[in-house]
């Protein structure tokens, strides 16, 4: 029996219900066979009046098989392209049937799923939370190669189609209706197929209703042809605008733009071929491999508990205590209340705690204003947060997150004072950004219940939580912290205790290398540009200003006290610069009246001229490729050192942590995945070259040499 169920009713309508082997319908060989067979049957069907395409799964259709995409290697192009063409010809035959074809969209139709729906004449979707539509291929370094680019351009016109293709926007059913991408909504799943059939029955001219706009005589592209003045201008400037965004590091958006313009210029079938070539080319690129490996596979493994002790049963937090209602505490309170958790938000005074709660109020008011939340729901969320200065209010919390000032003795004192308020078996989490968890846990009477939960600022926007296990942290505690992070919809990575954990330690090398370059006499603007050219969101000096030079001095003083200064490498070159900047020139960072940059009242900024006087030497130059590699390789090398020393427990955590916590360039797929596609051997050699030219800090980590000798990748 086919995995596509085929049923014809008394009205001559055939309902094809996709019910493939496995949990979802996906575009693999089973699909290709089932679709070929079904189309042939439909083409031969006597008395056919229409077709409804439906799904027996929760998801309408999941899209391309990413395992196949990942496996495709240079040299496989012809076979890869032929398979794609087979899928496309099936969809083309479907839309050329002389009767209307309706997609009955019951669940997510993303990527290939949406492309199938676009090949139907009419799309009816169920208006529920499971329905998501869109073409997110770009976020994996790919393009919608099942006709998605060509059909979207022909359906909406070039200008309107581009944002969907280039940004991979996901829509719910209502948004898709508004955008004209579905034609009707129904309220329940049961109404879906009947509504699809009713539409077919209502079409007096079936042959006409079965014609796609682009197959009609005299079809004109919506929004004007490529020679219209508006589109001609768009086509001229769009590549430059795109390049500014991608910095030339992301091939997918560029190829998508290319194919979309061709789709507007050429006949439908030729454009489909060009689109297939585009996908074939992209699928072979290292960038696509990196993005698929990390954004899809690693992300799923991490979020499904890859680093969570499996033997501990899942548990949810019902009452969380947040100590310190400052920048971090107020954000932690907000995300917890948004997840329906009761929050006790404690600071040294009720006023301070209330100020922390006001932060949630402001964020919620914005949601209401944007129509994303009702006033009633806002009040419900706010009611969950209790601002207080009283220790007793913490009684019965099953999780306490401490986010007071970064001070070891204060944190010790608070632990001793308040851990007794925890419910039996409750967990104590510290949001420290730099203090070792084992050291903090020394003040606890139950160090096995003590763990690091490192949030990133701003908490409501940053998706990562770095969970840090101290020496004595138990598996139960780790599992509880992991479950809490998932409960508040964050992605948790798990690392072992070490100075700066994984994220801060690795990120610190980016700042260090940037400052070293300034000290060498290179122009600070060039240094910043090289950071951005490699794909980091901002230059190292701008970031230093945000985290604050002052704070860095304080952290270094703490490490010195602990005898751990320069534990992972000589920081003295950068330290000299930072000490001079703060100590002699009063440049502590953005929130201290300026640092490497000067900040104008209108929000603009420019490099502080004093920096040039202090360090810039016009005669000094370093090849730009070296500058870029230095800024990138320092971070990659540090990530590998974290892996070899056991700070990182898995490669996945390293890749996800670097993307979501450090801002690693998406094209790398994370700092460890980068090495896989750069080539382990090439990486080791490049490290050796950089070490010879710029210093020992670039020596390849032992783990890279081991992988090279074993002929293995980092997995």
> Of 159 and 347, which CB lies nearer to ligand NAD in the complex structure?
347
End-to-end Cα distance, the chain: 39
By C-alpha distance, which of 61, 46, 185 is closest to 111? 61
State the residues that interact with ligand NAD by CB under 6 A: 323-329, 346-348, 352, 403-406, 414, 431-433, 454-455, 457
Distance CA 672, CA 686 (A): 15
Distance CA 462, CA 643 (A): 23
- Structure tokens given for 223: 């929004």
Residue whose C-beta lies closest to ligand NAD:
326
Single out the catalytic residue among 412, 454, 591, 592: 454
- What are the Cα distances from residue 45, in Å, to 10, 48, 197, 454, 603? 14, 6, 17, 62, 67
Shortest reach from residue 322's CB to ligand NAD, in Å: 9
Sheet (strand 133-134) strand order: 109-110, 133-134, 170-171
The answer to whether the beta carbons of residues 5 and 19 sit under 8 Å apart is yes
Q: Cα–chain-centroid distance for residue 531?
A: 20
Distance CA 360, CA 373 (A): 13
> Of 135 and 547, which CB lies nearer to ligand NAD in the complex structure?
547
> Of 430 and 477, which CB lies nearer to ligand NAD in the complex structure?
430
Beta strands in 434-509 (DSSP E): 450-455, 464-469, 491-496
- Structure tokens given for 335: 């995300």
Distance CA 229, CA 538 (A): 36
What does 326-385 look like in DSSP terms, one character per residue?
A: SHHHHHHHHHHHHTT-EEEEE-SSHHHHHHHHHHHHHHHHHHHHTTSS-HHHHHHHHHTE
> Of 506 and 673, which CB lies nearer to ligand NAD in the complex structure?
506
Beta strands in 28-183 (DSSP E): 50-55, 101-105, 109-110, 122-126, 133-134, 170-171
> Of 403 and 632, which CB lies nearer to ligand NAD in the complex structure?
403
Shortest reach from residue 599's CB to ligand NAD, in Å: 18
> Of 234 and 443, which CB lies nearer to ligand NAD in the complex structure?
443
> Of 254 and 406, which CB lies nearer to ligand NAD in the complex structure?
406
Shortest reach from residue 711's CB to ligand NAD, in Å: 40
Non-local CB neighbours of 623 within 8 Å, separated by 6+ positions: none
Distance CA 617, CA 265 (A): 52
> Of 362 and 692, which CB lies nearer to ligand NAD in the complex structure?
362
For the question of residue 454 being annotated catalytic, the response is yes
In terms of Cβ atoms closer than 10 Å to its own Cβ (0-12, 13-18, 19+), residue 470 is buried
What does 191-227 look like in DSSP terms, one character per residue?
A: GHHHHHHHHHHT-S-HHHHT--GGGSTT---TT--TT
Distance CA 417, CA 400 (A): 13
Residue with tokens 């698929």: 292
Strand partners, 387: 345
Shortest reach from residue 418's CB to ligand NAD, in Å: 8
Shortest reach from residue 400's CB to ligand NAD, in Å: 11
Shortest reach from residue 405's CB to ligand NAD, in Å: 5
> Of 214 and 510, which CB lies nearer to ligand NAD in the complex structure?
510
Shortest reach from residue 119's CB to ligand NAD, in Å: 48
Active site residues: 454
């Amino acid at each position: 029996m086919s995995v596509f169920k085929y049923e014809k009713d008394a009205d001559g309508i055939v309902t094809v219900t996709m019910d493939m082997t496995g949990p979802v319908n996906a575009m693999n060989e089973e699909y290709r066979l089932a679709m070929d067979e079904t189309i042939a049957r439909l083409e031969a069907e006597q008395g056919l009046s229409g077709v409804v395409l439906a799904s027996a799964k929760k998801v309408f259709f999941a899209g391309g098989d990413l395992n196949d995409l990942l496996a495709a290697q240079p040299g496989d192009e012809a076979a890869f392209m032929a398979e794609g063409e087979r899928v496309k010809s099936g969809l083309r035959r479907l839309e050329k049937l002389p009767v209307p074809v309706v997609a009955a969209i019951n669940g997510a139709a993303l990527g290939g799923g949406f492309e199938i729906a676009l090949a139907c004449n009419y799309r009816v979707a169920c208006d529920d939370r499971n329905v998501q539509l869109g073409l997110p291929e770009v976020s994996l370094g790919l393009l919608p190669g099942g006709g998605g680019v060509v059909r979207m351009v022909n359906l909406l016109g070039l200008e309107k189609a581009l944002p969907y293709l280039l940004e991979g926007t996901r829509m719910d059913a209502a948004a898709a209706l508004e955008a004209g991408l579905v034609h009707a909504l129904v309220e329940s799943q049961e109404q879906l197929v009947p509504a699809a059939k009713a539409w077919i029955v209502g079409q007096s001219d079936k042959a006409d209703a079965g014609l796609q706009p682009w197959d009609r005589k005299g079809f004109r592209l919506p929004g004007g042809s490529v020679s219209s003045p508006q589109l001609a201008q768009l086509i001229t400037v769009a590549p430059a605008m795109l390049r500014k965004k991608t910095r030339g590091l992301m091939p997918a958006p560029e190829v998508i733009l290319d194919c979309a313009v061709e789709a507007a210029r050429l006949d439908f079938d030729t454009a489909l071929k060009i689109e297939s070539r585009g996908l074939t080319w992209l699928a072979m690129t290292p960038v696509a491999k990196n993005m698929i490996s990390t954004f899809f596979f690693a992300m799923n493994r991490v979020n499904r508990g890859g680093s969570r002790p499996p033997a501990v049963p899942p548990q949810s937090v019902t009452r969380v205590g947040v100590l310190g209602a400052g920048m971090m505490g107020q954000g932690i309170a907000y995300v917890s209340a948004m997840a329906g958790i009761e929050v006790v938000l404690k600071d040294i005074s009720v006023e301070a705690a209330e100020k922390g709660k006001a932060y949630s109020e402001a964020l919620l008011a914005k949601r209401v204003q944007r129509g994303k939340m009702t006033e009633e729901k806002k009040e419900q969320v706010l009611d969950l947060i209790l601002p207080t200065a009283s220790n007793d209010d913490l009684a019965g919390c099953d999780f306490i997150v401490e986010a007071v000032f970064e001070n070891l003795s204060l944190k010790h004192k608070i632990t001793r004072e308040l851990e007794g308020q925890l419910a039996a078996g409750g967990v104590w989490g510290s949001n420290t950004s730099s203090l070792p968890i084992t050291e903090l846990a020394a003040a606890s009477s139950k160090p096995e219940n003590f763990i690091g939960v490192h949030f990133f600022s701003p908490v409501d926007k940053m998706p990562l939580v770095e969970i840090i296990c101290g020496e004595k942290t138990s598996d139960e505690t780790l599992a509880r912290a992991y479950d809490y992070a998932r409960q508040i919809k964050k992605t948790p990575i798990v690392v072992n205790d070490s100075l700066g954990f994984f994220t801060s330690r690795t990120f610190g090398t980016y700042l260090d290398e940037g400052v070293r370059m300034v000290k060498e006499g290179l122009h600070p603007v060039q240094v910043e540009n090289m950071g951005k050219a490699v794909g980091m969101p901002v230059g190292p000096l701008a970031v230093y200003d945000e985290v604050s030079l002052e704070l860095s001095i304080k952290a270094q003083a703490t490490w010195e006290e602990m005898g751990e200064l320069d534990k992972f490498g000589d920081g003295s070159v950068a330290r000299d610069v930072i000490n001079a900047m703060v100590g002699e020139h009063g440049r502590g960072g953005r929130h201290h009246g300026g640092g490497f940059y000067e900040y104008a009242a209108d929000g603009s900024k420019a490099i502080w001229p004093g920096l040039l006087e202090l360090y810039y030497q016009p005669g000094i130059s370093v090849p730009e490729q070296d500058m870029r590699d230095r800024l990138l390789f320092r971070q990659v090398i540090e990530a590998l050192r974290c892996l070899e020393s056991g700070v990182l427990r898995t490669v996945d955590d390293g890749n996800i942590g670097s993307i979501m916590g450090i801002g690693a360039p998406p094209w790398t797929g994370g700092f460890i995945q980068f090495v896989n596609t750069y080539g382990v051997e090439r990486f080791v050699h490049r490290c050796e070259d950089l070490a010879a030219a710029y210093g020992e800090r670039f020596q390849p980590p032992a783990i890279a040499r081991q992988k090279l000798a074993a002929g293995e990748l980092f997995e």
